[in-house]
A and B are shown apart, each in its own frame.
Chain A
């Protein structure tokens, strides 16, 4: 029994070798389909990991609460130097009262010119409360971080990002140097490590971080932060933290049941899930499109096997006369079809993996090659051969030996 299977396999390989050109052409549809699936899925998965990484680098379990413009006392609402609905007290309350939130930090942001004795540069300035670097998982590469007393006292100190440092100081160590921002002289106490470009395309390293009181009172003349950054206790509790913070703020801002939030809350986790869903849909789309190529390849196999059966009618008659059962003939042709498609699948996998790595390297990503992708492609290519080889194999097995022997 096993001998028959092995022999069928050997005969199939022999037949393929005899018609090399024909076999390759037949397998091309499968080769293209499989390699296309592998390349596209791998690239999309790589994009997904890259995007998720970019988002996650913003901060750990981070939640961003952004205030909406509010009326100043005096009734004037403005666009720049926005007076928002959030207060520093809100941030303290969230940190203390929401148990799903570990840290909360009020922040404000505005673009100013930064000037030294020899250079100047327009840079986004972020004013921060306690724990900013912790929430943003952002360490200091030289000098020191801002300390609680800097924030409380509103000391005129700052941290500088790598890009801003380069623009203002070249290769020099900027620690203890003074830079004037909006007329306020700030002593640089630390340099932030590089964070790269964020998903919005902004250079995170182009920044100056000052204590919030310095930004708000001395530079902008307001006392409301633009946003509150929070860090949830754990990834699983991010949604809970969002709910708790929302409820607390609604209560503090005295919003009734029918009132809309006067702030927006988003978590990075949401963004990651959105990115994930989008890439999953893209993956599915790619697989479907490549699947069409596999379908066409399968039809090609069916066509060529029908031709083969027709060409080898006499041979089939001889085999039957010698004692081949209909099942043995069926099996032989089915295995031939499966061997073509599987060989095509293997070549497609090799080509696909190679190209996926080339493309990933071009983007600077790590090529993603999940086992399910390669294994699935292999199994599917075999299945295509079996499925599309079924009809020709049946035709071969149904031949009448006497008539087949008379065929030329």
Chain B
């Protein structure tokens, strides 16, 4: 499970402050954490705990106000908008709760899109996209549009898209939030297989302990701070805490 010595993700005294209307929100207050390459981490927390903010920063969609975030050794807090975009394109794969596929493009076109922004030619993109879709079991649905696919199939397209540029990190934001329990199970199995076969670093955000238990390690957030960082039960750790209990002061 643990592979290289250098951490894939390093957070050092990470702070994020932003203005929301008239109030100033201190969403992240001095986070320190380290995720090794190939680790599978779940981040849990109640709403308002800062987990979305943290995910946005990990995904290079946002930059910290103070402190450091190093992704594969690269200091992200110093990058400009275009450099962040390029980093997102090459290092990070996203999957979202609501899939976030382009509604008017086919599955194949959706999967190929990251390669478009990476500047790859059409003759390279098409076979790579076809292969990615085959790997998630959708070889026969390549020309379907998202509305012609079930929720589970859409999420699989999203996974194929996230991985087509061979990123370092897969970030999943409530990936099973819009799926029924059986489809959720299927999706989490796919993620687990990808993690194991490709030694992907996976960071998963979820409020569902069942989903979080697929990971190797759980980091719990409350009020912008890490209150727990432990292995999951399947890796020998204690039971996963209930998120609602985390919200209660204590």
Contact = CB atoms under 8 A, between A and B. Distances in A.
Contacts of B224: none
Contacts of B121: 3
A405 B100 contact: yes
A241 to B, nearest CB: 69
Interface in A295-331: 314-315, 317-328
A1 B117 CA distance: 9
B228 interface: no
Interface string B160-180: 010001000000000000000
A206 B173 CA distance: 95
Interface in A326-349: 326-328
Contacts of A317: 100
A321 B94 contact: yes
A3 to B, nearest CB: 5
A401 interface: yes
Contacts of B62: 402
B116 A327 contact: no
B88 interface: yes
By secondary structure, the A interface counts as helix
Given A322-B161, A326-B85, A4 B117 contact: yes
Q: State which size class the interface on A falls in.
A: 20 to 34
A324 B120 contact: no
B56 interface: yes
A7 interface: yes
A257 interface: no
Nearest to B94: A321
A323 B117 contact: yes
Contacts, number: 68
Contact of B113 (A322, A325, A327, A402): A322
A402 B57 CA distance: 10
A1 B119 contact: yes
A405 B165 CA distance: 21
A149 interface: no
A18 B104 contact: yes
Contacts of B116: 3-4, 7
Contacts of B82: 325-327
Nearest to B113: A322
B61 A324 contact: no
Contact of B85 (A1, A6, A318, A323): A323
Contacts of A405: 96, 100
B81 to A, nearest CB: 6
A112 B86 CA distance: 94
Given A3-B121, A327-B82, A402-B62, A321 B104 contact: no
A3 B86 contact: no
Interface in A1-24: 1, 3-4, 6-7, 14, 18
Interface in B42-88: 56, 59, 61-62, 81-82, 85-86, 88
Given A315-B102, A402-B62, A405-B100, A322 B94 contact: yes
B154 interface: no
Contacts of B88: 320-323
Nearest to A15: B104
B122 interface: yes
A321 B89 CA distance: 8
A319 B85 CA distance: 10
A407 to B, nearest CB: 11
Interface string A386-407: 0000000000000001100100
Nearest to B118: A323
B56 A402 contact: yes
B110 to A, nearest CB: 9
Contact of A4 (B101, B119, B161): B119
Given A315-B102, A405-B100, A322 B117 contact: yes
Nearest to A404: B61
B102 A318 contact: yes
B231 interface: no
Tell which of A4, A7, A319, A322 has the most Cβ of chain B within 10 Å. A322
B100 A323 contact: no
A325 B85 contact: yes
B61 A3 contact: no
Interface in A101-131: none
B119 A402 contact: no
Interface of B: 56, 59, 61-62, 81-82, 85-86, 88-90, 94, 96, 100-104, 113-114, 116-122, 161, 165
22 contacts: A1-B119, A3-B119, A3-B120, A3-B121, A4-B119, A7-B116, A7-B122, A315-B103, A318-B100, A319-B102, A319-B117, A322-B94, A322-B117, A322-B161, A323-B89, A324-B85, A326-B81, A326-B82, A328-B85, A328-B117, A402-B61, A405-B100
Nearest 9 CB-CB pairings of A with B: A323-B89, A325-B85, A323-B117, A325-B82, A323-B88, A318-B100, A7-B116, A322-B114, A3-B121
Interface of A: 1, 3-4, 6-7, 14, 18, 314-315, 317-328, 401-402, 405
Given A325-B81, A326-B82, 15 more contacts: A3-B120, A7-B122, A319-B117, A321-B59, A321-B61, A321-B88, A321-B94, A323-B86, A323-B88, A323-B90, A323-B114, A324-B117, A325-B117, A326-B81, A401-B61
